[in-house]
Structure 1
């Protein structure tokens, strides 16, 4: 499999109209279980890119998901099961939640975490190579997002598209739609799409990845 690709995305409806607000209500009720990751930036759940790749290790990640997986399983099992089923239909192969891995979790950006000064760096999603499970950079993988609430001006992802004669490429915006399952490989340079925000804005998403292992596609975060 190529190390990088052209950034193709796939979308499919996941939640009925209004269902995202119910998920947010449950998420806000579990605020005491959130982990502060930076100014105005929280997660509910463990993430390899935060708990392993940024100076951590698998032991810290395992300890974190040992606390957060039961919370996510108790409050959001219907949502994560729906993601698993829909992702399997989208890629045409069955998916399972990875053993010894974190369940899909939530990004919560409040207004302070949405300032343009905090614009993400362009990156590839290769954090699976930091797990002690023998995954390689070229192991087939996917990244998915379920947008639950976006700033008033919208939000999404931007990918860097290769352009002949332009070594910097071109940034292409992909706007999220609330309640959809948005899937890409993570192997094109990408980052959060920034839009103007007000004091009332929040950006809340369910996040996760899938990796093809010997036992089939494994879902984790």
Structure 2
């Protein structure tokens, strides 16, 4: 198992802008976890919320399957992202999971105060031979 990964956003006005990447969690494809002739199953991404700003925090997400993205022009993608964003609010101490196949982004902070922090533990897993393999 790899070391855990933390996303740490401190009180800076830069974190009030949408600077986090908009992405699918594809690390399992890029890291070469699949053995020859093997399909990775049971993909899982998780977020444990350990600190939130006073005004809260969460996840922006879009209902846009990866296969559909490849059929859109750049202008269509931008239009979709601007007009179809949804927000999922986090709660302190909660663990959230999803398939990783959801287009998502760490949502920007709102009116960040000098002592605000947004800290989450991020992780990923996949199922291989009925055993969960965890990685950062």
User: Pairwise mapping of residues 36-115 of structure 1 onto structure 2 (< 5 A)?
Assistant: 101-112=1-12, 115=15
2:18 and 2:108 in contact (8 A); partners too = no
Take 1:157 and 1:137, find their aligned partners in 2: how far apart are those partners? 29
TM-score by length of 1: 0.47
Aligned residue pairs: how many?
118
SS at structure 2 position matched to 1:182: strand
Deviation at 1:214, TM superposition (A): 2.6
- 1:204 aligned partner: 119
User: Pairwise mapping of residues 119-134 of structure 1 onto structure 2 (< 5 A)?
Assistant: 119-134=19-34
SS at structure 1 position matched to 2:101: coil
- 2:67 aligned partner: none
2:23 and 2:105 in contact (8 A); partners too = yes
- 5+ residue gaps, structure 2: 65-75
**Is 2:95 the counterpart of 1:181?**
yes
- 1:81 aligned partner: none
Deviation at 1:213, TM superposition (A): 1.5
- 1:93 aligned partner: none
- 1:146 aligned partner: 48
- Higher helix proportion: 1
Take 1:158 and 1:195, find their aligned partners in 2: how far apart are those partners? 11
Match among 107, 114, 126 for residue 193 of structure 1: 107
Coordinate RMSD, CA, aligned: 2.6
**Is 2:121 the counterpart of 1:219?**
no
- 5+ residue gaps, structure 1: 1-100
TM-score by length of 2: 0.73
Take 2:10 and 2:105, find their aligned partners in 1: how far apart are those partners? 17
